[in-house]
Amino acid sequence: MGFTEQRFTVNLSILFAELPLLERPAAAAAAGFTAVELWWPWADSPTPGRSEPDALRKALRDAGVRLTGLNFYAGRLPGPDRGALSVPGEESERFRANVDVAADFAASLGCTALNALYGNRVDGVDPADQDALALENLALAARAADRIGATLLIEALNRPESPRYPLVSAPAAMGVVDEVNAATGLDNARFLMDLYHLAVNGEDLPSVIDRYAERTGHVQIADSPGRGAPGTGSLPLEELLGRLRTAGYDGWVGLEYRPGGRPSAEAFDWLPREGRRPSPHANREAPS
């Protein structure tokens, strides 16, 4: 089962980042893609004024691309932050202020997957207190996602790049998924399975897939080492994605890799142009 059997969506926060934000949707469409995803686009503003979301909404619609995933406010990405919802004080307040703003923006574009990055550990704060704050804010996010018919995604990152982020394994992230679903009773929290992060953590990817595919709401890929395009590292990504489909995952696969010092439009040579649009045999939504 090859790459052309997948449904790919381009992360416009890491690919085409050499372009102004409002030019990226059209660039993705010109490269042959019909779906995109984004980190929260306004890192310094969890509650931007009306003009900025309106302009991005128009750019997406004019390009004819679908927004399939959106991060809640997560601080400075790329940068030292790894989320905000578990960080006491101003950052968690900014996250809370963003929850309905992000959900409403997603709903206006038919986006049904919202990613909530957990946040780094903070010196002088009891991890148990951070975890309690995180659960409270994730429950808030889950309810906002439920209001718009969306899935709440919980992601594991990798320890070498995010040493202060507590969710650095698939079981750790799944534990939080279970806690959120138990707290809300909504059962709309799911695992975001990023194969790059899990590989850097040294996890057994086939076992992770077999164990968690049915409870995965979204998948992201980059090759390892290097976080480049498929084929630039040593991960058998085509094989792993085939295993995911065999295990029952038929949702979107986010391309979240670095273009490698070249224009992003040149970083898709691993994928035939006909494979950049959803296959007619892969037309269902991700599990919710």
Cis amide leading into 225 (omega within 30): yes
- In the chain, what is the greatest distance between 2 CA atoms, to the nearest angstrom? 53
Two structure tokens written together for 253: 């696969």
Q: Looking at the domain assignment, is residue 192 inside a domain?
A: yes
Q: Looking at the domain assignment, is residue 92 inside a domain?
A: yes
More confident residue, 282 or 244: 244
Radius of gyration of the chain from its Cα atoms, rounded to whole angstroms = 18
How many domains does the chain fold into?
1
Residue range 54-71, pLDDT digits in tens: 999 999 999 999 999 999
Two structure tokens written together for 202: 């040294």
1-10, 73-82, 177-186, range with the lowest pLDDT: 1-10
More confident residue, 284 or 168: 168
Q: Looking at the domain assignment, is residue 74 inside a domain?
A: yes
Question: What CATH number does residue 210 fall under?
Answer: 3.20.20.150
Q: Looking at the domain assignment, is residue 86 inside a domain?
A: yes
Q: Looking at the domain assignment, is residue 283 inside a domain?
A: no
Opening angle at CA 274, ends 268 and 280, nearest 5: 130
Residue range 84-143, pLDDT digits in tens: 999 999 999 999 999 999 999 999 999 999 999 999 999 999 999 999 999 999 999 999
Q: Looking at the domain assignment, is residue 282 inside a domain?
A: no
What gap in Å lies between CA 51 and CA 122, rounded to an integer?
34
Q: Which residues are identified as catalytic?
A: 155, 256
Residue range 218-273, pLDDT digits in tens: 999 999 999 999 999 999 999 999 999 999 999 999 999 999 999 999 999 999 99
Q: Nearest-CA neighbor of 288 among 219, 220, 215?
A: 215
Residue 1 has pLDDT above 70, yes or no: no
**Which residues form the domain of 216?**
3-276
Q: Looking at the domain assignment, is residue 286 inside a domain?
A: no
- Look at phi and psi of residue 32 and say left if phi exceeds 0, alpha if psi is from -120 to 50, else beta: left
Cis amide leading into 41 (omega within 30): no
Q: How much is the pTM?
A: 0.95
List phi, psi (to 5°) of 90.
-60, -40
Q: Looking at the domain assignment, is residue 268 inside a domain?
A: yes
